[in-house]
Amino acid sequence: MHLDRLSLPAVPIQIVILAAGLGKRMHSDLPKVLHQVGGRPMLAHVIETSRALEPRRIVVVTGHGGEQVRAAFPDPDLHWITQDPPQGTGHAVQLAMPALERDGSVLVLYADVPLTRPESLQPLADIAASGRLAIQTQVLDDATGYGRILRDSAGRVVRIVEHKDATPEQRRIGEMYTGVMAAPAARLRAWVAALSNDNEQREYYLTDVIAMAAADGIDIATVKPGHVRETQGINTKAQLAEVERAYQRMQADRLLAAGVTLADPARIDVRGTLDAGRDVSIDIGTVFAGHVSLGDRVIIGAHCVIADCTIGAGTVVKPFTHLEGVRIGANCELGPYAHVHPDTELADDVDIGNFVEVKRSKVGRGSKAKHLSYIGDATVGQNVNVGAGMITCNYDGANKHRTVIEDDVHIGSDTQLVAPVTVGRGATIAAGTTIWKDVAPGGLALNMKKQMSLAGWQRPVKGGKARLK
């Protein structure tokens, strides 16, 4: 999900991201916040959202697997705090307060809630800047498991009751607390310092701050996000899959709004960023990873994998094609079942066909390799025709060598070019030829063979032998 800086008034906000959860229910050795949504760790989404708010400081509180989490985010603008052992969300914010400046306001986010958008958080930051406490809430048909918002007769928020501590009447309340809050830094510092762990879990709950604020006569404002999916947290692999689908639907909606034709918005995966021009069409089951840019009128067939590629206008990528790290010109055709590796450039009007593999090569304008060929570590000129079954033999067992095929070369089927070798402009390679020496421009290269034809040949039969009559 690509986020631009918001054109909103500057607020002296600081952000604390709580990322210390053990994630026991994930049943994984990987720290929970490093599990991926849309091809990136869920924590990466929260950090990106935080940066869009242009905070003074971002503090991340880690616990289990903290060293691994830090290693995944070496960014200099992040400040790290370790919570060990974990003693609740209130304790995590207590630990973070010394790393924050004393003035301004503080926004508390959760690393396992990756779909919150900055435009939904900005109102909370603005409210906190005015000296009030702001909490994010949502009304659900079924709020099981969430803390409920309790209000007095005048409708003012007075406290939050956890689901397990709520009465049957309180559990019927649909308004729940998402965990996100923003408060003036000085007041938050005092409130978290006064938290108690006198409860069954022996933990310090950040939710107790709401009752403290109400007791101090501080106005508590509630803010709802733009969409319920922004509050979806992840504690299990099932929830991770649900959030992944919600994220992919967001990407599909963005593409549809930009004019992209999707055969089925439920069957596309964007695991990075995808930019598309006008009249682009994408069939089902394609995975886009890294940064992919599609020019006008590009057509992507079903079940392709496209990673870190730039694809020029009018190019058609047929089904089951795998492209990675490739720059592709305009009006090309690729696939089906083509595989093009990184460090490859295809000029305009190139045709890479069925079961053709290209690796670390440049292919010139109008050149074609339509069937069952391998082009590796090669420079291919313009208007070259590569016959079925041609391979560049680029590896000698220790080193890679380069093949140069100049413009207007015709290469017959079932040929081998043993690198390093150059085939000169306009040359022709006869079918079934092995080339291990340079071929002069305009020449014909072939391996002389004698073809024999024996009359009276009888094919072998079971229990017998082939023989001449």
33 burial via Cβ count (<10 Å: 0-12, 13-18, 19+): buried
Query: Which token pair is 41?
Result: 């760790």
Amino acid at residue number 165: D
**Alpha-carbon span 273 to 14, nearest angstrom:** 27
Q: Are 223 and 139 in contact (CB under 8 A)?
A: no
Q: Are 46 and 110 in contact (CB under 8 A)?
A: yes
**Alpha-carbon span 134 to 125, nearest angstrom:** 8
Phi, psi angles (nearest 5°) of residue 462:
-60, 130
Calculate the CA 348 to chain-centre distance: 28
Nearest CA to 39 out of 84, 1, 10, 67 is that of 1
> What is the maximal distance between C-alpha atoms in the chain?
112
Catalytic residues: 371
115 burial via Cβ count (<10 Å: 0-12, 13-18, 19+): buried
Bridge partners (DSSP) listed for residue 65? none
Q: Give the orientation angle of helix 89-96 with respect to helix 185-193, to 10 degrees.
A: 130
Long-range contacts, 188-191 (Cβ 8 Å, 24+): 188/93, 188/97, 188/106, 189/97, 189/102
Q: Are 296 and 276 in contact (CB under 8 A)?
A: no
Phi, psi angles (nearest 5°) of residue 97:
-60, -40
Q: Are 286 and 300 in contact (CB under 8 A)?
A: yes
